[in-house]
Amino acid sequence: MELELIRTYYPNGTNGEFLFNGTRVCSSIELAWKNNQHRISCIPEGRYELRKRHIAERSWHLILANVPGRELILIHAANDANKELQGCIAPVSILTAEGKGLESRIALKKINAIVFPELDQMKQVFLTIKS
């Protein structure tokens, strides 16, 4: 299964749109592109395998595998990239500014509802990030 994240880069953050089968699922926010610097930049464009991971503080969540020069890149709820993200991707329902949005938990549920059933059936799921 394939998801796409189509990005638009801005000085203060990166905004995007998650697509599944060419249909918009929700928007996204990330940090601005700063040459893939750890904790202060969004990750490079590319194709990444999504995996499920469980830890007590986040319960079940999605992690991107094999991100060049990075680790622990998650898809999780956040409404302000510069205050709440360290390289991860946050789905949001509404974009409000560069790297900012609203109703992230609602958007995250939409992504998880698409991806988790596939992963539970041991199918591979990929996210392609591009501009």
Domains and CATH numbers, the chain: 2-130 (2.40.440)
**For position 56, what pLDDT does the model report?**
81
For the stretch 49-76, pLDDT in tens is 999 998 887 788 999 999 999 999 999 9
pLDDT of residue 4 exceeding 90: yes
- Using DSSP's 3-state secondary structure scheme, residue 66 falls into coil
What's the whole-number mean pLDDT along residues 13-20? 98
Structural tokens at position 33? 């592109």
* Percent of the chain predicted with pLDDT > 70: 100
Q: Are 127 and 4 in contact (CB under 8 A)?
A: yes
Structure token digits, residue 119: 């992963």
Mean pLDDT of 11-17: 98
Which alpha helices (H) appear in the chain, and where do they start and end?
Answer: 81-84, 104-120
pTM of the prediction? Answer: 0.96
pLDDT at res. 57: 76
